[in-house]
């Protein structure tokens, strides 16, 4: 938790001298908060998507997706590596916090102006006025965001994820209610734009209210140069990363039209539910964890391999099940009008499963203060990805998705090459770290297929096929974890023990 009184002249951000056991407990607590936040957001986003998918047409979803992709690119520029600067800085002072706020305001407002002005050119380029309208509303997000961004980054540095949990829940509920209400009222794609603006406004207001006492309230000039130098490289990492994530919608929107973007967006959307819950929780903790490991003299390479083991052991079974249950899952969540997204989803499962192997590569390099190398890595990864996408896009959506798989495979090789410049990491080490996940993915796939066969015999409707397939896959996967002695089995036993203790205490009362 944050200290109860201001700490001057140095903030409570110095290298930790706690034991490794305490550090592991802190990581567990941080991941728990992150996961809790993301699972609650999953429920909200899933419910909202299910309703909006039945209100909006594929072309309308496509319009918002293209505009949101451009906004996401501007958001990464707006961040300008400020959060990463605050997290990795070993000697954080109030002056440096003020400088970070100054840089954030300057860059954010510049992005607001560029988003608003560029909206007219984007509308002409895609031959759709709706894209410009959405971009102009989203531009106002950039005016508000800097007044909460530095505080949220400071919470992350302290590995204090409780405030972010509370803020995300309140903003998420308000945003979901707004988007559905406006969608039902005929606001079309603008319903999502206005709900996004409301969510940002609530996030900023709550972060200001929850600002810790040691946080400076006003921007400052001293130390701005250091933030700009670090941010110039660090922002490049995330700009290129977001370029790779936004490229599919932007490229398909130009080659195939808004309806195709809508189908691709729904295929991606189901998979991103997982990325925004489990994997974003890992990403939120990854940089602070690797940075703390380095400050305490720990083995960052071993931490990376353990991260690969744990993330692939969650992700690979999930993607295996998603690929097998693609059609019934799409129909249950979004309705039969989105059936064309199912074959795209199956292919994209392979791409995202491959991406998990090097999910935290840039965070590892940042934690090692190899910011230039990390920036160059991200540039190479995303330029390669975009070039492959452009090569496959003229041949249709299915070919485009196969191109994404190829790009993901090539990116793993590139990331391994860069990591070896900073760590004694071998390809065989990565393969060994992934082996338990491969076994779990096979078990999950067999369980899902068995569930489909069972459902077709008992209750051959889409909901039953998705539910029974998912439940049998989960049961077989968990059984395989315990049978193989997977590290997650020990974590599940600890969680079970905590639940039993809590239950006994409740009964004792």
Cα(96)–Cα(215) distance, integer angstroms? 11
3-state secondary structure 148-190: HHHHHHHHHHCCCCHHHHHHHHHHHHHHHHHHHHHHHCCCCCH
Which segment of 2-16, 188-202, 249-263 scores lowest on mean pLDDT? 2-16
Q: What is the pLDDT of residue 443?
A: 95
Judge whether 197 and 67 are in contact, CB under 8 Å. no
Confidence category of residue 322, pLDDT binned at 50, 70, 90: very high
Q: What is the pLDDT of residue 108?
A: 84
From the centroid of its chain, how far is CA 299?
25
pLDDT tens-digit profile of 79-103? 666 766 676 666 667 777 777 778 7
pLDDT tens-digit profile of 106-145? 888 888 999 999 999 999 999 889 999 999 999 998 888 8
CA separation, residue 227 to residues 100, 101, 105, 231 (Å): 6, 10, 13, 6
**φ/ψ (deg, to 5) at 490:** -65, -40
483: Cβ–Cβ under 8 A, 6 or more apart, which residues? none
What is the mean predicted confidence (pLDDT) over 294-307?
75
Q: Quick one: tokens of 337?
A: 């009008």
pLDDT tens-digit profile of 370-386? 777 887 888 888 889 99
Q: What is the pLDDT of residue 500?
A: 75
DSSP, res 54: T
Q: Nearest to residue 191, comparing CAs of 128, 199, 265?
A: 199
Helices (H) and strands (E) in the chain — how many of each? 20, 0
Cα(275)–Cα(356) distance, integer angstroms? 10
What is the mean predicted confidence (pLDDT) over 456-481?
92
Crossing angle of helices 224-255 and 94-126, rounded to 10°: 20
**φ/ψ (deg, to 5) at 7:** -115, 115
Judge whether 308 and 434 are in contact, CB under 8 Å. yes
Q: Which residue has better confidence, 56 or 367?
A: 56
What is the residue-averaged pLDDT of the chain? 81
- Is the model's pLDDT at 175 over the cut of 70? yes
Q: Which residue has better confidence, 278 or 474?
A: 474
Q: What is the pLDDT of residue 238?
A: 64
Q: What is the pLDDT of residue 8?
A: 33
pTM (2 d.p.): 0.70
Which segment of 5-9, 77-81, 352-356 scores lowest on mean pLDDT? 5-9
Cα(486)–Cα(309) distance, integer angstroms? 10
Cα(347)–Cα(333) distance, integer angstroms? 19
pLDDT tens-digit profile of 220-232? 677 677 767 676 6
Cα(129)–Cα(218) distance, integer angstroms? 39
On the CB side of 419, CA atoms within 13 Å amount to 27
Q: Quick one: tokens of 158?
A: 């302290």
Q: What is the pLDDT of residue 475?
A: 94
**φ/ψ (deg, to 5) at 131:** -60, -40
- Is the model's pLDDT at 503 over the cut of 70? no
pLDDT tens-digit profile of 68-81? 888 887 777 766 66
Q: What is the pLDDT of residue 368?
A: 76
Helical segments of 325-370, H only = 326-334, 341-355, 361-367
Confidence category of residue 12, pLDDT binned at 50, 70, 90: very low
Cα(326)–Cα(270) distance, integer angstroms? 9
On the CB side of 328, CA atoms within 13 Å amount to 22
194: Cβ–Cβ under 8 A, 6 or more apart, which residues? 137, 178, 179, 182, 187
Which segment of 47-56, 259-268, 269-278 scores lowest on mean pLDDT? 269-278
Q: What is the pLDDT of residue 198?
A: 94
Residue-level length of the chain: 509
- Is the model's pLDDT at 288 over the cut of 50? yes
Confidence category of residue 207, pLDDT binned at 50, 70, 90: confident
Cα(362)–Cα(88) distance, integer angstroms? 13
Q: Quick one: tokens of 248?
A: 């599919």
Helical segments of 256-279, H only = 258-274
Q: Which residue has better confidence, 87 or 365?
A: 365
**φ/ψ (deg, to 5) at 380:** -65, -45
Q: Quick one: tokens of 416?
A: 């391994």
Q: What is the pLDDT of residue 184?
A: 92
Q: What is the pLDDT of residue 254?
A: 83
- Is the model's pLDDT at 56 over the cut of 80? yes
From the centroid of its chain, how far is CA 416?
21
- Is the model's pLDDT at 14 over the cut of 60? no
- Is the model's pLDDT at 23 over the cut of 70? no
Which segment of 57-71, 217-231, 442-456 scores lowest on mean pLDDT? 217-231
Q: What is the pLDDT of residue 19?
A: 41
Percent of the chain with pLDDT over 90: 30
Cα(149)–Cα(81) distance, integer angstroms? 11
Percent of the chain with pLDDT over 70: 78
Cα(395)–Cα(226) distance, integer angstroms? 46
Radius of gyration from C-alpha coordinates of the chain: 23
């Amino acid at each position: 938790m944050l200290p109860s009184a201001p700490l001057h002249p140095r903030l409570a951000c110095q290298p930790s001298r706690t034991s490794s056991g305490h550090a592991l407990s802190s990581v567990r607590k941080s991941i728990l908060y992150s996961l809790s936040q993301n699972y609650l957001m999953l429920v909200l986003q899933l419910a909202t998507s299910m309703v909006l998918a039945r209100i909006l047409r594929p072309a309308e979803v496509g319009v918002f997706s293209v505009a949101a992709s451009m906004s996401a690119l501007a958001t990464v520029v707006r961040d300008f590596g400020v959060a990463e600067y605050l997290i990795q800085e070993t000697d954080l002072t109030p002056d440096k916090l003020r400088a970070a706020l100054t840089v954030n305001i300057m860059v954010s407002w510049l992005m607001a102006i560029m988003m608003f002005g560029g909206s007219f050119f984007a509308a002409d380029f895609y031959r759709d006025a709706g894209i410009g309208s959405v971009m102009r509303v989203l531009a106002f997000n950039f005016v508000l965001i800097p007044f909460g961004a530095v505080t949220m980054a400071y919470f992350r540095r302290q590995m204090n994820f409780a405030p972010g949990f509370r803020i995300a829940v309140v903003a998420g509920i308000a945003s979901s209610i707004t988007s559905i209400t406006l969608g039902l009222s005929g606001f079309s794609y603008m319903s999502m734009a206005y709900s996004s603006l409301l969510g940002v406004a609530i996030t900023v207001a709550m972060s200001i209210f929850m600002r810790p006492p040691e946080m400076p309230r006003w921007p400052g000039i001293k130390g701005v140069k250091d933030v700009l130098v670090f941010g110039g490289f660090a922002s490049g990492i995330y700009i290129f990363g977001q370029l790779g994530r936004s490229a599919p919608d932007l490229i398909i929107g130009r080659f195939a039209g808004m309806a195709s973007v809508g189908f691709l967006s729904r295929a991606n959307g189901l998979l991103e539910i997982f990325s925004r819950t489990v994997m974003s929780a890992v990403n939120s903790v990854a940089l602070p964890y690797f940075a703390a490991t380095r400050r305490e003299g720990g083995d960052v390479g071993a931490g990376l391999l353990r991260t690969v083991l744990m993330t692939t052991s969650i992700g690979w079974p999930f993607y295996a099940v998603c690929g097998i249950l693609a059609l019934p899952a799409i129909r249950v969540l979004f309705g039969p009008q989105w059936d064309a997204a199912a074959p795209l989803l199956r292919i994209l499962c392979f791409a995202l499963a491959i991406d998990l192997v090097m999910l935290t590569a840039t965070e590892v390099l940042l934690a090692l203060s190899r910011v230039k190398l990390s920036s160059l890595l991200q540039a190479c990864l995303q330029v390669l990805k975009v070039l492959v996408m452009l090569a496959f896009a003229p041949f249709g959506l299915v070919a485009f998705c196969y191109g994404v798989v190829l790009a993901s495979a090539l990116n793993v090789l590139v990331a391994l090459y860069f990591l070896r410049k900073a760590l004694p990491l071998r390809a065989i080490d990565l393969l060994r770290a992934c082996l338990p996940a491969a076994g779990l993915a096979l078990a999950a796939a067999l369980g899902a297929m068995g569930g489909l066969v069972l459902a077709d015999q008992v209750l051959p409707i889409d909901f039953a096929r998705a539910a029974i397939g998912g439940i049998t896959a989960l049961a077989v996967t968990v059984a395989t974890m315990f049978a193989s002695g997977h590290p997650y089995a020990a974590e599940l036993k600890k969680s079970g023990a905590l639940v039993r203790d809590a239950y006994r205490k409740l009964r004792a009362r």
